[in-house]
């Protein structure tokens, strides 16, 4: 990382008095000779609408809130609380810092005071949020409630006490799934008296994770019904809290399987926010990087077992139509981690010029964020920087500390990183330091996006678009919670989506917030969840209605597979061990990171990321300390590391093949076909690059020997006839580059129309795919069984691909750059890529595809 002296002077005491947002933004933009700000949006302040306490709120509870400074509630808080106290299910979907906590605390605590036997279960998606809510409830000091956290960090000695005595248990869906429901007999008293289930930040439960949580909640409802007297008791009331989202009532209904009323009008006061869109400057081109022409690799032939038994035909009006339900298979060229295919070479045999590599690139968003964080901390501004990845958060924090210590020795100690994978003690200490003002700056993953009450933050830096407008506003809303004017800055990464957004502010500020997408009927989710339910208690016909569409057919499939046994009294789990089901789709159990010399546990990495982050030779960062991985044992779930400060970083590369299994739906658009269907994807991490930290120069590429991983999922793809491309002026030699560039940009722009980010999806392009027998671009969900993203892309294909075409065409580069068609994770060096041919390819698709 380049060390940069902060742009404003600092004092040894930690900086001058906090400047207002406008002045702070003026100072930040002075760093560059060209203005990096593409747009400034002013969100005006708003006055609140207070109303009296509901008549049923006990005086003891009102007094407890008054001690915390809450003398009267806001109207939306009371509206949601009234619905919940009336024992109707409700979701309150209002902005960040609007007081959603009181909306569910009020009816829940009032009920606990009125009924000394009643209990409440609170679910948060992160441990940090649950710990924050525990502090909030505990400080009310309501006698007899005994709030307690019950999660993976809870010592076993405390768990029995919590089961017996706590009346307000705070946990997460993972612990409910792995601990509480399997041991439901030990929780029978708690479940029998359960009055409320609070589902906080419910907009997070989307895709595969959300679909799993939907069935965990159904399993919870099932166990509550088993332990309650058969007197028509409707079971616990669900109270959900969500960020502002599209159609929250429908999303909450899908999540719980119950009718839910939505409260959406935000009547809380809000400080004004200055929101800037920031594009890092272009770096000067490096003349030494100009490559010489190289011979073209041999053209890749289609497999001999293609659909026609030999070379595929030149193209068809609807390529691949005969695949519907056929279960045809084939293989495709290898690709990189982002779904980028290996180059097919130049069919004409001419030289391949890596023209895209000559293009100027923008300064790294990580470096820009680190410099801005250093500047804000040096100005005395308490700042939270959101970074997309764990490694990125570590890099930003380390660079910021280094820059600040150069300016004022010791000031760097007031900056830290916060991410998943830390040990419990580290997380709690960081949360305490931030809440008490010991830290002025924090670089965090989205672990701190959700609800944690961070009073006193003045600014938020968002390093890269977080994937949805809901998350963007959640992160921006972390600042200004004390009522003072706040600053939010979105720093664009050098990729198609971020570039599009900072130059199209109407897509950020003028568009509605997305609806939450989840699909409980996904058979890859429903089957494992029904197996878990059967392991808890035999399934009955009445239970199947609770689990919704497809449950009966899925149970039959589990019986046929030998997982369940049907008896007159129901369906029974046949095995001694419980089903192993990962709610978050992270790819298995976490891998422990252990310092080899001392045996000290540093942290954990989810199983799905271990191949990329903990392979032998990988650089692993932990609280600013650099380690190098000695070995990775996937069977034991352990990576051994040693401390080392190399001047290089590591970047894993993988290869992937894809075959079409079936077609669910298609559009015949003459020379263009649009498809939605199931595909099999096989990927394997095969090597990693070492790159100089200072320059990004590739030192070498080293091979790896890791097992392949297979995924059956849902994809959307389009095909074009070779004749249509030729008629549009695309030379056959340029087809691979045009498709490849279009695929990169399409992956980058999909989050614009689907509730996902680019890490949720993969892709592949090829000039002739053996299953479609035509030039094809695939984009697929990166989760087993699909996550609903490909379906959304299929339904919004015209809008999605038009935005993709516009992003490429409007980019100011000549040959293609990371802002339009280059992918940061392309395993083939972003070659071949053809920006003009990508525009032509998309023009052909859009000209034929119906709206």
pLDDT in tens, 182-192: 999 999 999 99
Question: What is the model's pLDDT at position 827?
Answer: 56
Angle at 279 between CA 273 and CA 283, to 5 degrees: 150
Give pLDDT, residue 241.
Answer: 94
Which residue is listed with tokens 């020379």?
671
Q: Are strands 672-692 and 648-669 parallel, antiparallel or unpaired?
A: antiparallel
Q: For position 360, what pLDDT does the model report?
A: 61
Given pLDDT bands bounded at 50, 70 and 90, which one contains residue 29? confident
Identify the residue with better confidence: 787 or 62: 62
Q: Is residue 289 over pLDDT 60?
A: no
Q: What's residue 603's pLDDT? A: 82
Per-residue pLDDT at 829 = 58
Output the pLDDT for position 231: 64
At 638-682, the pLDDT tens digits run 999 999 989 888 988 888 889 999 999 999 999 999 999 999 999
Determine the pLDDT at residue 376.
Answer: 92
Element holding 651 (H helix, E strand) = strand 648-669
HSE, CB side, 13 Å, CA atoms: give it for residue 598.
7
Are 356 and 696 spatial neighbours (Cβ–Cβ below 8 Å)? no
Sign of the alpha-carbon dihedral angle for 35, 41, 47, 48: negative
pLDDT at 481: 59
Q: Cβ contacts of residue 668 below 8 Å, gap of 6+?
A: 317, 318, 321
pLDDT tens digit sequence for 691-714: 887 666 789 999 999 999 888 999
Residue 298 reports pLDDT greater than 60:
no
Q: How far apart are CA 38 and CA 339, in angstroms?
A: 30
With contact defined as beta carbons under 8 Å apart, do 412 and 402 qualify? yes
Task: Express as a percent the part of the chain with pLDDT over 70.
Answer: 84
Lowest mean pLDDT among 462-471, 507-516, 752-761, 793-802: 752-761
Which of 766-805 are b and which e, b meaning 16 or more Cβ less than 10 Å from the residue's Cβ?
bbbbbbbbbbbbbbbbbbbbbbbbbbbbbebbeebbbbbb
3-class DSSP state of 777: strand
Q: Rounded mean pLDDT of 557-581?
A: 93
Nearest to 663 by CA among 674, 671, 654, 653: 674
CA dist list (Å): 355 to 282, 289, 757: 17, 11, 28
**3-class secondary structure for 714-774?**
EEEEEEECHHHHHHCCCCHHHHHHHHHHHHHHHHHHHHHCCCCCHHHEEEEEECCCCCCCC
**The pLDDT value given to residue 635:** 87
Query: So what's the pLDDT on residue 291?
Result: 46
Backbone angles phi, psi at 745, to 5 degrees: -65, -35
pLDDT value of position 286:
57
* Statement: residue 339 has pLDDT above 50: no
- Can you count the helices (H) and strands (E) in the chain? 25, 27
d(CA 678, CA 771): 12
Which pLDDT band, with edges at 50, 70 and 90, does 335 fall under? very low
Comparing 564 with 11, the larger pLDDT belongs to 564
The residue ranking higher by pLDDT, 220 or 343, is: 220
In the structure, what pLDDT confidence band is assigned to residue 161 with cuts at 50, 70 and 90? very high
* Residue bearing the bigger pLDDT, 505 or 292: 505
The whole-number pLDDT of residue 762 equals 86
Rounded distance between C-alpha atoms, residue 810 and residue 778, angstroms: 24
**Residue 348: band (very low, low, confident or very high) from pLDDT cuts 50, 70, 90:** very low
Provide the percentage of residues in the chain whose pLDDT is more than 90.
Answer: 51
pLDDT at site 325: 32
Q: pLDDT band at residue 572, thresholds of 50, 70 and 90?
A: very high
pLDDT tens per residue, range 714-772: 999 999 999 999 999 999 999 999 999 999 999 888 877 876 666 678 889 999 999 99
Give the pLDDT band of residue 233 (cuts 50, 70, 90).
Answer: confident
Q: What share of the chain is helix, strand, coil (3-state, %, to 5)?
A: 35, 20, 40
- pLDDT at residue number 164: 92
pLDDT digits over 532-547, tens only?
999 999 999 989 999 9
Which pLDDT band, with edges at 50, 70 and 90, does 401 fall under? very high
pLDDT of residue 357: 43
pLDDT at 245 over 80: no
Running DSSP on this structure, what letter comes out for residue 282? B
Handedness of CA 625, 631, 632, 638 (dihedral sign): negative
Instruction: Indicate if the pLDDT at residue 284 is higher than 80.
Output: no
8 A C-beta contact, residue 113 and residue 187? no
Length of the chain: 851
Look up the pTM and report it: 0.75
**Average pLDDT over the chain, rounded to an integer:** 83
- The arithmetic mean of pLDDT across residues 47-56, rounded, is 95
Please name the residues in contact with 542: beta carbons below 8 A apart, sequence gap of 6 or more. Answer: none
Q: Helix or strand or coil: residue 12?
A: coil
Is the per-residue pLDDT at 2 higher than 60? no
pLDDT at 490 over 90: yes
Higher pLDDT, 200 or 1: 200
Q: pLDDT at position 586, please?
A: 58
Q: Supply the angle between the helices 365-378 and 21-29 in degrees, to the nearest 10.
A: 130
């Amino acid at each position: 990382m380049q060390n940069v002296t902060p742009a404003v002077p600092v004092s040894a005491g930690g900086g001058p008095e906090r400047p207002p947002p406008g002045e702070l933004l003026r100072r930040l933009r002075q760093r560059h000779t060209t203005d990096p700000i593409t747009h400034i949006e002013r969100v005006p302040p708003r006055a609140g609408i207070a109303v009296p306490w509901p008549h049923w709120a006990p005086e003891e509870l009102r007094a407890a809130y008054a001690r915390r400074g809450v003398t009267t509630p806001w109207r939306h808080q009371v509206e949601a609380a009234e619905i919940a106290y009336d024992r109707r299910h409700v979701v309150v979907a209002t902005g960040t810092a609007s007081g959603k906590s009181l909306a569910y605390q009020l009816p829940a605590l009032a009920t606990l005071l009125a009924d000394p036997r009643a209990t409440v279960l609170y679910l948060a998606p992160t441990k940090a949020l649950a710990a924050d809510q525990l502090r909030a409830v505990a400080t009310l000091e309501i006698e007899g409630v005994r709030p307690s956290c019950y999660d993976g960090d809870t010592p076993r000695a405390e768990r029995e006490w919590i089961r017996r005595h706590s009346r307000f248990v705070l946990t997460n869906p993972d612990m409910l799934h792995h601990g509480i429901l399997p041991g439901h007999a030990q929780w029978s008293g708690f479940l029998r008296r359960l009055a409320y289930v609070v589902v906080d930040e419910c907009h997070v439960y989307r895709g595969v994770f959300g679909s799993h949580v939907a069935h965990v909640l159904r399993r919870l409802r099932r166990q509550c019904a088993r332990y309650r007297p058969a007197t028509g008791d409707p079971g616990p009331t669900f109270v959900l809290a969500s960020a502002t989202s599209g159609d929250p009532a429908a999303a909450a209904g899908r999540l719980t399987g119950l009718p839910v009323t939505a409260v959406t009008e935000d009547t809380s006061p809000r400080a004004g926010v200055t929101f800037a869109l920031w594009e890092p400057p272009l770096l000067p081109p490096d003349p030494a990087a100009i490559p010489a022409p190289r011979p073209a690799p041999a053209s890749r032939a289609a497999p001999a077992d293609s659909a026609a038994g030999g070379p595929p035909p030149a193209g068809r009006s609807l390529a691949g139509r005969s695949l519907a339900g056929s279960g045809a298979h084939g293989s495709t060229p290898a690709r990189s981690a982002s779904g980028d295919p290996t180059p097919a070479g130049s069919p004409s045999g001419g030289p391949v010029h890596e023209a895209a590599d000559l293009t100027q690139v923008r300064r790294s968003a990580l470096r820009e964020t680190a410099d801005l964080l250093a500047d804000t901390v040096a100005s005395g501004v308490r700042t939270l920087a959101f970074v997309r990845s764990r490694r990125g958060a570590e890099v930003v924090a380390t660079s910021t500390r280094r820059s600040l210590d150069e300016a004022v020795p010791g000031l760097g100690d007031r900056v830290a990183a916060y991410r998943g994978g830390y040990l419990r003690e580290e997380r709690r200490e960081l949360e305490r330091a931030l809440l008490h003002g010991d830290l002025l700056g924090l670089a965090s993953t989205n672990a701190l996006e959700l609800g944690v009450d961070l009073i006193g933050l003045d600014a938020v830096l968002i390093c890269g678009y977080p994937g949805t407008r809901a998350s963007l506003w959640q992160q921006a809303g972390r600042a200004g919670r004390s009522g003072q004017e706040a600053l939010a800055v979105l720093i664009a990464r050098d990729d198609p989506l971020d570039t599009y957004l900072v130059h199209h502010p109407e897509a950020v500020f003028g568009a509605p917030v997305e609806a939450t997408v989840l699909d409980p009927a996904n058979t890859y989710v429903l089957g494992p969840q029904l197996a878990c339910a059967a392991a808890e208690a035999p399934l009955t016909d009445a239970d199947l209605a609770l689990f919704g569409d497809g449950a009966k057919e899925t149970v039959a499939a589990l019986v046929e597979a030998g997982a369940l046994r049907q008896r007159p009294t129901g369906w029974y789990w046949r095995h001694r061990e419980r089903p192993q089901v990962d709610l978050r789709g992270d790819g298995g159990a976490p891998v422990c990171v252990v310092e080899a010399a001392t045996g000290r546990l540093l942290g954990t990495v989810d199983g799905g990321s271990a191949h990329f982050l903990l392979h032998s030779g990988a650089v692993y960062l932990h609280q600013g300390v650099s380690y190098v991985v000695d070995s990775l044992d996937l069977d034991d779930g352990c990576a051994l590391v040693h401390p080392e400060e190399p001047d290089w970083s590591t970047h894993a590369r993988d290869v992937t093949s894809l075959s079409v299994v079936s077609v669910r739906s298609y559009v015949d658009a003459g020379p263009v076909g649009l498809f939605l269907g199931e595909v099999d994807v096989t990927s394997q991490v095969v090597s990693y690059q070492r790159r100089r930290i200072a320059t990004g120069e590739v030192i070498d590429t080293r091979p790896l020997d890791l097992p392949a991983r297979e995924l059956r999922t849902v994809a959307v793809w389009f095909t074009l006839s070779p004749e249509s491309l030729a008629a549009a002026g695309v030379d056959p030699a340029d087809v691979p580059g045009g498709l490849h560039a279009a695929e990169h940009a399409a992956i980058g722009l999909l989050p614009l129309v689907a509730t996902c980010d680019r890490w949720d999806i993969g892709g592949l392009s090829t000039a002739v795919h053996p299953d479609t027998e035509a030039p094809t671009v695939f984009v697929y969900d990166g989760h087993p069984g699909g996550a609903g993203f490909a379906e959304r892309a299929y339904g919004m294909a015209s809008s999605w691909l038009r935005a993709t075409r516009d992003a490429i065409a409007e980019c100011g580069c000549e040959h293609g750059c990371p802002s339009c068609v280059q992918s940061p994770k392309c395993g083939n060096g972003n070659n071949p890529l053809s920006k003009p041919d990508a525009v032509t390819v998309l023009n052909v698709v859009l000209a034929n595809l119906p709206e």
